[in-house]
Structure 1
Amino acid sequence: MSDPHRPGFSSSPVVELRQYTLRPGTRDTLVGVFEEHLVDGQEDCGMAIGSVCLDEADPDRFVWMRGFTNLEQRTEALGGFYLGPVWGKHRDVANGTMIDSDDVLMLRPTEPAHPPAQPRNDLGGPTDRIHLSVYTYAPDHVLDTHLSTDFHEELESLLGVPVDTWRSHCGPNGFPQLPVRDDHAFVWAATFADAEQRQEALQRFRDSGRRDDLLSHGSPVGIQELNLRPTRRSRHPHPNAPPL
């Protein structure tokens, strides 16, 4: 089980965003084994589980995040889990649900850091909904700074909830058995009390033109937008809570 004295996902300097494409009709099987066995197994090996979510638009997509204290600890924790007994016992069931598990970004918090609404070891409510956006573009220091500062401030104002942000981590992948993408990315996520609040907030964001401004930036920006429903054991921020 998770250790209340261990740093949680909210303070993780190294983060993975993982998106799995699943065989049709197998997502419930993966969620079952993940929540029953793999959450605790990973936390016992020193990983911090973050959001664990279902894609509302794609029944065959599973999206989740986990954190580490540094790159060396990531390598150690991944080795301990994937070479250990919990994964050894359940990997055939988990892997049997997956078509692709290599859509992975290694990230770090933006600077200045934007702390989440509440520690992610606190579970959210059953109606919570999450929006997560992934922006990919050629390395651009000016755009990096803009997204982490002015854009983030405007985004929180438009959405009316705290927004967590990360950017690509350029460190080496010390566990090459699990590949990571080499895209240069900026990721933001926000939690809402329900789907209606999320829809209204995202409409304000789109009406503002700030999303279109990114698409017209000098460097082409690819945008992936995901509307997500947290699973029972997701460790995501509570919506509408004031920042810490």
Structure 2
Amino acid sequence: MRDTDNTDDIADARGAHGAHRPAVIELRRYTLRPGRRDELIELFDRELVETQEETGMSVLGQFRDLDDPDRFVWLRGFPDMASRRRSLAAFYDGPVWAAHGPRANDTMVDSDDVLLLRPLTERSGFADHRPERRGAPGTAAPDRFVAVTLWSFPPGVRDGAALIRDGLLPLLRETGPAPLAALATETAPNTFPRLPVREGENVVAVVTSYPDEPAHHAHAKALEAHPRLRDVLLPTLNRTQQSPPQLLRLTPTGRSLVR
């Protein structure tokens, strides 16, 4: 599956990566063998960050899931779906994955829980997460808390995304820190089927960062008390959503750019 003669394409992808606003984002949630999360994080942060970015993709964030000691969550981005295919082929058919992939895979029970996303609006993607700001391998994890809220709506229903965009995001900014990103399902076909993604989804993901979990709780309480949420937005969301929102409570690793 490896593409040949794609040097110029990867250079173009690096240029787009330099704009720090990936247009396609993967939210990847891995279930690991018991007790092996730190092993994977150490390997990932040492061997699998810059080497992925050399092919034109962006490694945006790596996280421990506070609700599951055997869950590793991470984010990576691409300029577009075509460059995603080229970059993934270059990496997974390349020497780095050949050397380190077997050990990484050995820590995993499942790696197919993947949402393929895009910015909900032109300006709601991840911005200004520059690789030069990333700490060296072995950097201690920062004292930060990252919340990812996943809102699920029935397939084909556009009202849900509009409610998040026009109703919830302004309220989040009004009551606390602005989200780092708001993302919606990318509906284009998976351009690299060797890595499955969840099909048929209609999800909006809102990513917000806090100094700690109490700060997140304070923001949530202020939001819940807002009359516009309580009286107008929440009843409409409850009628529109397919299932209750899911909260991912995450702490970034030492090399995560999203923090």
SS in structure 1 opposite 2:170? helix
The answer as to 2:207 corresponding to 1:189 is: yes
The answer as to 2:103 corresponding to 1:93 is: yes
Percent identical among aligned pairs is 33
Q: What does 1:208-219 align with in structure 2 at a 5 Å threshold?
A: 208=226, 212-213=234-235, 216-219=238-241
The aligned length equals 235
Decide whether the 8 Å contact of 1:214 with 1:221 is kept in 2.
Answer: no
The answer as to 2:255 corresponding to 1:233 is: yes
User: Measured at CA, do residues 214 and 57 of structure 1 come closer, stay the same or move farther in structure 2, by a change above 3 Å?
Assistant: farther
User: Measured at CA, do residues 215 and 16 of structure 1 come closer, stay the same or move farther in structure 2, by a change above 3 Å?
Assistant: same
Structure showing greater radius of gyration is 2
How many angstroms apart in 1 are the aligned matches of 2:79 and 2:14?
A: 15
How many angstroms apart in 2 are the aligned matches of 1:193 and 1:92?
A: 36
- AA partner of residue 218 (structure 2): E
Mean Cα deviation higher: 136-145 or 59-68: 136-145
Once the two structures are superposed, residues 175-205 of structure 1 have per-residue CA deviations (whole angstroms, 9 ceiling, x without a partner) of 1010000211100100112232222222333
Look up the match of 2:187: 170
Once the two structures are superposed, residues 90-133 of structure 1 have per-residue CA deviations (whole angstroms, 9 ceiling, x without a partner) of 11110011111000011100124225574354349711110011
SS in structure 2 opposite 1:217? helix
Q: What does 1:1-244 align with in structure 2 at a 5 Å threshold?
A: 7=17, 10-114=20-124, 116=126, 118-121=128-131, 122-123=133-134, 126-138=142-154, 139-182=156-199, 183-208=201-226, 212-213=234-235, 216-236=238-258
User: Measured at CA, do residues 192 and 61 of structure 1 come closer, stay the same or move farther in structure 2, by a change above 3 Å?
Assistant: same
SS in structure 2 opposite 1:77? helix
Once the two structures are superposed, residues 17-47 of structure 1 have per-residue CA deviations (whole angstroms, 9 ceiling, x without a partner) of 0000111100011001100001111111111
How many angstroms apart in 2 are the aligned matches of 1:8 and 1:227?
A: 29
Decide whether the 8 Å contact of 2:124 with 2:183 is kept in 1.
Answer: no
How many angstroms apart in 2 are the aligned matches of 1:9 and 1:129?
A: 26
Q: TM-score, normalised by structure 1?
A: 0.87
SS in structure 1 opposite 2:56? coil
Mean Cα deviation higher: 111-120 or 86-95: 111-120
Q: Which runs of 5+ in 2 are unaligned?
A: 1-12, 136-140
Decide whether the 8 Å contact of 1:9 with 1:66 is kept in 2.
Answer: no
Mean Cα deviation higher: 108-117 or 43-52: 108-117
